Amino acid sequence: MSFMGFFISVFALASAIGVVSVRNPLYSAFCLIVHLLAIAGLYAVLESHFLAVSQIVVYAGAIMVLVLFVLMLLNLKTEEGRGPGVLRTCIAVAVGGVVLLVALPPLVGRFARMSVIQISDAFRRSEGTVRAIGAELYGDYAVQFELSSLVLLIGVVGAVMLSKRKNPTLGPRPGGLFAGGKQ
Amino acid sequence: MSSPVTYIALSLVLFIIGAIGVTLRRNAIVVFMCIEMMLNAVNLAFVAFSKLHGNLDGQIAVLFTMVIAAAESAVGLAIILAVFRSVASVDTAESAELKW
Amino acid sequence: MFELLVLLIKVIVVMNLALVLGSLCTWLERKGSALIQDRVGANRAGAFIESDKWYVKPALPVVRMMGWLGFINTFVCDSVKGLWKEDFVPAGTSKFLHAVAPIIAVLPIMLAFAVLPLAPNFTLFGYNIHPRLAPIDAGLLFVLAMGSVAVYGVAIAGWTGNNKFSLLGALRAAAQMISYELPMGLVFVALIVVYGTLDVYTIVEEQGKMLWGVVPQWGIVMQPVGFVVLLLAGMAETKRGPFDLPEAESELAAGYFTEYSGMKFLLFWLGEFCEIALFGLLLALLFFGGWQIPWVRLPEGVWWAALVGHLVLMTKVVFFCVLQIVIRWTLPRFRYDQLMNLGWKMLLPVSLANLAITAIMKVLL
């Protein structure tokens, strides 16, 4: 792992732990933004610049702005009391640790011996990864590409339908955001 | 020589951190963000594999994951907002009743 | 060693260019707004300076001239005032986020300058020099990415203001910037279709070619609709002009930076003007042939040709900065629903249709 990769990895890990452990949801959103930017940096370290940039555009630029927007709109306070509790935290971390211990050795052992030199050649052959990715997308993956546009369309329609008020008589429970002042 | 294998290990760790977050946190939006984190961990593994094998299929998979994540976030946040409208809370324990 | 030196010089030149263009825009706005509103504008500070020191005397006429033109007021007085002002942090917010927000607002704008070429490549002392910092192949996309990261500065600033006006301003800004990023991205895609590359340098080079042997293939010729859409979307991205709803004084005090003072406030200001300059640079590079003069072919790879090209580019950039400032000071502010309608019901369909027609033309021709 290069120095740059190590540096960014530390950032990614620290901010990931921040997302999970910080109490205020807004702060964990900020941690997640740092995390996503760090992941974009790791993509750049792994020589896939197009993915790094599109990671910033899609995740940091669109999804997280949306999340931040919702968080600010709801204006949530810090979760009071009722944390997960020490016991549950311990159990979750222990299970996570066990999974890590079980899964890590075969994963690393399987690929550790593969040489990395072959790749650089493959990347160099594909004059600029943007062009190569585009050729792949519209060649072998054309059907999937079209389907993904359909998924996006369905997502848009679904979001619009969900945020539309169907029956005004049902209305929100008093005290909700859209109830209009305190009751 | 920088090796993609370390990044695969890192992605595993990140995935587990995200999973722990999903199980522990009560706030629906934070749970949503932890899911995004898990997706990203998988994406990192895909990119590392792409580098390891020297072809672009992994990167294409990441692009598709991003598309799905974008659609998922639009729908997911709309659901969270709709739930908040009727229960006035984004606590996952509060909206345990499936009907209002 | 020489490469390292060149890199260092490039960093200094690019960052300074961003700052100099930004502050130049500040001055242009001062004097330009005065001109438009039939005032004189800043012309006092330093204009009557006196000194008996023998080593100051020769410089006095120059200093007085600069004071008379308002340079001293804009570049010296304002920044010094900003530095000495009380740094006020509202109660009940995170001090860290309050301090970090202006930096996040400025930094992406500065970073976006790194991928944009500033002159044609040239050879100096036998070395090939590429006058841009980061030659990544997804350059155009990177500019878009940095534009979308800049939203966070605004959002965090509004949040840490800890009052309703700031929060409303931040929400407005976030919604506005996301909405107008879509047509902007679609125009970029249409340009990519026309020139067949994401690399800004190659796009500029392609614009030097002639269409039917008469008209240069400038972006304005190939994509006139795209230019109009990008101009509108870019003005909305900078949150100025008729689109300054996030900081509408008559409704929201000062919007998202209501609670900012001193140097932090000036950083927001600097970011705004750097964004104007960045946007002017983008328009000049993508639509007006960058460093090229129509029907004139400068020799390739010579240092003086690069210098001339750079000056030509800067002239175009300053022109677009002035254009933005004139628009900002002549048009009244939109209503918020008008803003959203313009973005979603006008610009988005128009840019989509533009993209479709461009793609069809590309296939047919």
The pLDDT tens digits of the residues spanning A57-75 come to 888 888 888 888 888 878 7
pLDDT score of B34:
92
The predicted-structure confidence for C4-51, as pLDDT tens digits, reads as follows 888 888 888 888 888 888 888 888 888 888 888 888 877 777 777 777
Minimal Cβ distance to C138: which of A33, A53, A75: A53
pLDDT score of B39:
92
Q: Residue C256: how many CB atoms within 10 A of its CB?
A: 32
pLDDT score of C351:
92
The closest alpha carbon to C190, from C218, C225, C217, belongs to: C225
pLDDT score of B38:
92
Percentage of chain C exceeding pLDDT 70: 99
ipTM score of the complex? 0.88
Asked whether residue B65 carries a pLDDT value surpassing 60, the answer given is yes
pLDDT score of A176:
44
Q: Answer whether B62's CB lies under 8 Å from B70's CB.
A: no
CA C139 to chain A, closest CA, distance in angstroms equals 9
In sequence order, what are the residues at sequence separation of 6 or more whose Cβ sits closer than 8 angstroms to the Cβ of residue C333?
C242, C243, C244, C245, C248
Helix (H, G, I), strand (E, B) or coil at A139: coil
Asked whether residue C129 carries a pLDDT value surpassing 90, the answer given is no
Residue of A4, A67, A125 to mutate when probing chain B, most B C-beta within 10 A: A67
Percentage of chain A exceeding pLDDT 90: 9
Chain A hits for B33, CB-CB cut-off 8 Å, are: 19, 28-29, 32, 67
What is the Cβ-side half-sphere exposure of residue C131, based on CA atoms within 13 angstroms? Answer: 21
Ramachandran angles phi, psi of A108, nearest 5° = -70, -40
pLDDT score of A150:
92
Q: Answer whether C140's CB lies under 8 Å from C230's CB.
A: no
What pLDDT band is residue C145 in, cutting at 50, 70 and 90?
Answer: confident
Chain A residue with minimum CA distance to C182? A62
CA B94 to chain A, closest CA, distance in angstroms equals 12
Residue of higher predicted confidence among C284 and A48: C284
Asked whether residue C183 carries a pLDDT value surpassing 80, the answer given is yes
Tell the burial category of A160 from Cβ atoms under 10 Å away from its Cβ (0-12, 13-18, 19+).
exposed
Cα-to-chain-centroid distance, residue A26: 16
Rg, C-alpha atoms of chain A: 22
Interface of A with B in 154-183 (CB under 8 A): 154-156, 158-159, 162-163, 172-173, 175-179
pLDDT score of A178:
47
Minimal Cβ distance to A92: which of B20, B52, B55: B20
- The b/e string for A164-181 (b: 16+ C-beta within 10 A; e otherwise) is eeeeeeeebeeebeeeee
> Per the CB < 8 Å rule, is B5 touching A112?
yes
Asked whether residue A175 carries a pLDDT value surpassing 50, the answer given is no
pLDDT score of A79:
57
In angstroms, the CA C205 to CA C201 distance is 6
Task: Look at the alpha carbons of C247, C249, C253, C257 in this order and tell me if their dihedral is positive or negative.
Answer: positive
**Quick one: tokens of C265?**
């406030």
**Quick one: tokens of B79?**
């659901």
What CATH code is assigned to A1-77?
1.20.120.1200
**Quick one: tokens of C145?**
């990415």
Strand duo C210-211 + C215-216: pairing: antiparallel
Q: State the helix-helix crossing angle for A142-163 and A129-138, rounded to 10 degrees.
A: 80
Task: Look at the alpha carbons of A78, A81, A86, A89 in this order and tell me if their dihedral is positive or negative.
Answer: negative
Residue of higher predicted confidence among B62 and C262: B62
The predicted-structure confidence for A114-136, as pLDDT tens digits, reads as follows 655 455 555 555 555 777 888 88
Interface of C with A in 167-226 (CB under 8 A): 167, 170-171, 174-175, 177-178, 181, 185, 198
What pLDDT band is residue A177 in, cutting at 50, 70 and 90?
Answer: very low
pLDDT score of B42:
93
Domain edges within chain A = 1-77, 112-164
pLDDT score of A28:
87
What is the Cβ-side half-sphere exposure of residue C249, based on CA atoms within 13 angstroms? Answer: 4
Q: Residue C40: how many CB atoms within 10 A of its CB?
A: 10
Residue of higher predicted confidence among C364 and A127: C364
The predicted-structure confidence for A90-106, as pLDDT tens digits, reads as follows 888 888 888 888 888 77
Residue of higher predicted confidence among C105 and A175: C105
pLDDT score of C168:
83
In angstroms, the CA C341 to CA C339 distance is 5
pLDDT score of B55:
77
pLDDT score of A46:
81
Helix (H, G, I), strand (E, B) or coil at B26: coil
Query: What are the distances in angstroms from CA C147 to CA C178, C184, C309, C324?
Result: 10, 10, 26, 18
CA A2 to chain B, closest CA, distance in angstroms equals 5
**Quick one: tokens of B46?**
């895909």
Cα-to-chain-centroid distance, residue C97: 25
> Per the CB < 8 Å rule, is B3 touching A1?
yes
pLDDT score of C163:
81
Residue of A33, A39, A53 to mutate when probing chain C, most C C-beta within 10 A: A53
What pLDDT band is residue A15 in, cutting at 50, 70 and 90?
Answer: very high
The predicted-structure confidence for C192-205, as pLDDT tens digits, reads as follows 888 888 888 888 88
Domain edges within chain B = 4-87
Question: pTM (2 decimals)?
Answer: 0.84
Once rounded to an integer, what is the mean pLDDT over residues C80-109?
Answer: 84
DSSP label at residue A60: I
Q: Which helix (H) or strand (E) holds A19?
A: helix A3-21
**Quick one: tokens of A70?**
């919702």
In angstroms, the CA A123 to CA A74 distance is 46
What CATH code is assigned to B4-87?
1.10.287.3510
Asked whether residue C325 carries a pLDDT value surpassing 80, the answer given is yes
In sequence order, what are the residues at sequence separation of 6 or more whose Cβ sits closer than 8 angstroms to the Cβ of residue C249?
none
What pLDDT band is residue A38 in, cutting at 50, 70 and 90?
Answer: very high
Tell the burial category of C228 from Cβ atoms under 10 Å away from its Cβ (0-12, 13-18, 19+).
middle
pLDDT score of C295:
77
In angstroms, the CA C222 to CA C194 distance is 8
The predicted-structure confidence for C240-255, as pLDDT tens digits, reads as follows 778 877 776 677 777 7
Task: Look at the alpha carbons of C17, C22, C25, C26 in this order and tell me if their dihedral is positive or negative.
Answer: negative
- Contact present, C and A (at least 3 Cβ pairs less than 8 Å): yes
Q: Answer whether A145's CB lies under 8 Å from A137's CB.
A: yes
> Per the CB < 8 Å rule, is A62 touching C141?
no
Percentage of chain B exceeding pLDDT 70: 92
In angstroms, the CA C202 to CA C209 distance is 11
In angstroms, the CA C163 to CA C98 distance is 13
pLDDT score of C136:
75
Once rounded to an integer, what is the mean pLDDT over residues B24-53?
Answer: 87
Q: Residue A182: how many CB atoms within 10 A of its CB?
A: 6
Chain C hits for A33, CB-CB cut-off 8 Å, are: 152
Strand duo C127-129 + C122-124: pairing: antiparallel
Interface of A with B in 52-81 (CB under 8 A): 54-55, 58-59, 62-63, 66-67, 70-71, 73-74, 76, 79
In angstroms, the CA C208 to CA C292 distance is 7
Please tell me chain C's helix, strand, coil percentages from 3-state DSSP, rounded to the nearest 5: 70, 5, 25
* C275 has a chain A CB within 8 A of its CB: no
Residue type, C45: A
Q: Answer whether C110's CB lies under 8 Å from C18's CB.
A: yes
Helix (H, G, I), strand (E, B) or coil at C135: coil
CA C59 to chain A, closest CA, distance in angstroms equals 49
Minimal Cβ distance to B85: which of A17, A47, A178: A178
In angstroms, the CA C107 to CA C267 distance is 10
Chain B hits for A132, CB-CB cut-off 8 Å, are: 56
Q: Which helix (H) or strand (E) holds C75?
A: none
Highest mean pLDDT among A1-10, A11-20, A22-31, C136-145: A11-20
Chain B hits for A29, CB-CB cut-off 8 Å, are: 29, 33
